[in-house]
Amino acid sequence: MEEKQLAEDLKFMRSMIERTHREIDPEAPVMIVWGLICMIGYPATQFLATPQLYKWMWPMWTILWVIGVSVTIYSGVKVARRERQSGLVSQLSKQIGWIWLILVVNGTIWTLMGLFKDYFGGPGFLWAAIYGFALSIMGILYSKEWLYGGIAIFIAILAAFVIKFHAYVVLGIVMGLGCIIPALIAQKRWRRLREQGERVESS
Amino acid sequence: MSELNPAEFDELILSRARLGIISALIGGDELEFTYLRNALELSDGNLSVQIRKLEESGYIKVKKVFVERKPRTFCRITNKGRKALVRLVKHLEDLVETD
């Protein structure tokens, strides 16, 4: 066995591992929905945080939350079915699923707290931090665009402390874009990968 | 570069086809027969033989399920297979570095 053969074997192994590790559907529609929820919910929170309008805070967030969770569950089931059909059930996909589950459970607890404790002011920043953290982890595990989205959210949190007056508007827009832009980039890359795979299969 | 001692390597996964199967399974969780065949550009017969050898040695597990009423064969790497590949990779990397 020669060195060239060794190096080729290593390269071959790494390329196979990389291919099956990263070939997962980025679930862009789910990320876009959550991005829009942030872009609607956070700025709306800014304007509802008055004594006259505060009573609408909990209904608004509950409706947005139910929409987000429903889309997430529906998409999760659809992706799991699609993976079975395509023949590639990915470990990374499961890891990302766990991150989503933690986010959803966390958000559900915060929403329910609002029902019983009438408490929606403070958690907004904490929720943004958790969201940014989760996107960063996704970026590390899957693709760097999510990491940039997570970093942008952390910067927005700091900026929101400084700006204060329109803090939630800033947070909402950056959280939304931090989700939507990486989703569109990842979806475009995924489609290109699939087209290449289909061309190989048909040739 | 000095010649390597074949006895130091796990002969079972040193074959390119089986190396490819094991490597692909490390990256994914469960991979279906057709997916492996297309990814590794192997024939049905060759892939079946390689999968059987790996299964008999305990490096992978194979299960047959129905997906939309069609029988499909899914493979998953075992801990034994994972450790074997990690050992092999480390061995190869050490050898490449020393040359």
Domain presence at residue A137: yes
| pLDDT band, residue B76 (cuts 50/70/90) | very high
Tally the domains of chain A: 1
Closest partner CB to B19 (pick from A13, A84, A91) = A13
Q: How far does the CA of residue B91 sit from the closest CA of chain A (Å)? A: 10
Q: How far does the CA of residue A188 sit from the closest CA of chain B (Å)? A: 21
| pLDDT band, residue B27 (cuts 50/70/90) | confident
DSSP run (H or E) holding B69: none
Domain presence at residue A10: no
Is B27–A18 a contact, with Cβ atoms under 8 angstroms apart? yes
Q: Domain range holding A153?
A: 91-189
Is A9–B19 a contact, with Cβ atoms under 8 angstroms apart? yes
**Residue with the larger pLDDT of the pair A103 and A11:** A11
Domain presence at residue A152: yes
Domain presence at residue A44: no
Question: What is the predicted ipTM?
Answer: 0.73
Domain presence at residue A86: no
Domain presence at residue A203: no
Q: A12: which chain B residues are within 8 Å (Cβ-Cβ)?
A: 16, 19-20, 23
Domain presence at residue A202: no
pLDDT tens digits along B41-71: 899 999 999 999 999 999 999 999 888 888 8
Closest partner CB to B32 (pick from A6, A87, A93) = A87
Judge whether residue B35 has pLDDT over 80: yes
Mean pLDDT to the nearest integer, A122-136: 77
Domain presence at residue A161: yes
Q: How far does the CA of residue A77 sit from the closest CA of chain B (Å)? A: 14
The answer to which of A116-125, A171-180, B80-89 has the lowest mean pLDDT is A116-125
